[in-house]
Chains A and B, each alone.
Chain A
């Protein structure tokens, strides 16, 4: 069966420090992958999505970037964190692009101080 994992689960970082969140999917090949962010008490905002290795689409101009170095690996990065980058980051994969069913990882909670 397919599984999706994110790490780290919790992260506290100072302003100006770099960031790397990792997401991996097992049990499937060539999945569509997504990074969402959820600010406290708010809905989910799509940040990036990828339909294949090296293919990244950005939804919102911001301080973050994404990369997909391998088929089942999706990485969210920043060179210098801002206070506004704090939030809950969720990685998701799409079961079948035609049906569009999304499955989420456990999430990574980032606090920037």
Chain B
């Protein structure tokens, strides 16, 4: 099956700093999503981004499908950005998504 690798596994930032999270995948995919898991465990959809670049406030994401990676940018980080960020890819032939192990982000005040 598809392998999904996220890096770094852990990231500690000071409030106001910028960061880049990376997601590499091993095969062609039809879809890629970024999620934020908050401290209560809820998975929040950040981006549905099979290719190209999208922005939503302080967050943006870029997927280069031909090179099999995606990047999530967080600018001017806030303590509420803390949590685990997951990347998930879908191969529609298989009908199911594969998740990376996540990046745990801690933003300190």
Contact = CB atoms under 8 A, between A and B. Distances in A.
Interface of A: 32, 34, 36, 38, 42-44, 46, 49, 51, 59, 88, 90, 97-104, 106-107, 109
Q: Tell me what chain B mostly uses at the interface: helix, strand, loop, or mixed.
A: strand
Contacts of B35: 104
List the 8 shortest-distance A-B pairs measured between CB atoms, nearest first: A100-B90, A100-B31, A104-B43, A43-B101, A44-B99, A107-B41, A101-B48, A43-B99
A109 B41 contact: yes
Contacts, number: 54
Given A99-B48, A104-B42, A43 B86 contact: yes
Give the contact-size bracket for chain B.
20 to 34
Interface of B: 30-31, 33, 35, 41-43, 45, 48, 86, 88, 90, 92, 95-102
Contacts of A46: 96-98
